[in-house]
């Protein structure tokens, strides 16, 4: 598929896709006869994985390191696993923290709702 189609499916702008290629997140993208990028399922799966890492707070630099290891082949699978494990642990902590924040927010909202009730009945 061309960059437009790929952009629609991945929900990344063509700009962002080229940017990801420029910084090395996307590599060895095929080109058609007129020099336009040609994407396949392979890129789709990889980009979805990049998005997962990014959306859970991993910086692009770290994702880049993962991409480097990935390119080196199977000998780096243990390293990659360790990266993911460390990241998963951080994510678990982050979720726990957010759940705590959420509870505090709900308490504040409860406080407001009582306040507003008082105003209405005044």
Partner DNA sequence: GCTTGACTTAGAGTTGACTCTAAGTTGTAG
Partner DNA sequence: CTACAACTTAGAGTCAACTCTAAGTCAAGC
Sites of contact with DNA (CB under 7 A):
2-4, 13-16, 18-19, 22, 31, 33-37, 54, 59-61
In three-state secondary structure terms, 122 is: coil
The C-alpha atoms of residue 100 and residue 109 are separated, in whole angstroms, by 14
Place of tokens 């699978």: 77
Distance of closest approach, residue 41 Cβ to DNA, in angstroms: 18
The C-alpha atoms of residue 17 and residue 23 are separated, in whole angstroms, by 10
Q: Which residues bind a second copy (CB under 8 A)?
A: 49, 52, 55-56, 74, 77-78, 80-81, 84-85, 87-88, 91-92, 94-95, 97-99, 101-102, 104-106, 108-109, 112-113, 115-116, 119
């Amino acid at each position: 598929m061309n960059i437009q189609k790929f952009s629609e499916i991945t929900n990344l702008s063509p700009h962002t896709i080229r940017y990801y290629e420029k910084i090395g997140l996307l590599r060895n993208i095929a080109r058609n006869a007129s020099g336009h990028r040609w994407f396949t399922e392979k890129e789709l799966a990889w980009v979805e994985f990049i998005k997962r890492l990014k959306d859970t707070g991993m910086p692009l630099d770290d994702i880049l390191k993962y991409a480097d290891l990935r390119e080196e082949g199977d000998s780096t699978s243990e390293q990659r696993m360790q990266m993911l494990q460390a990241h998963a642990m951080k994510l678990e902590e982050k979720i726990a923290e957010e759940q705590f924040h959420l509870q505090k927010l709900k308490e504040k909202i409860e406080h407001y709702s009582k306040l507003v009730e008082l105003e209405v009945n005044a």
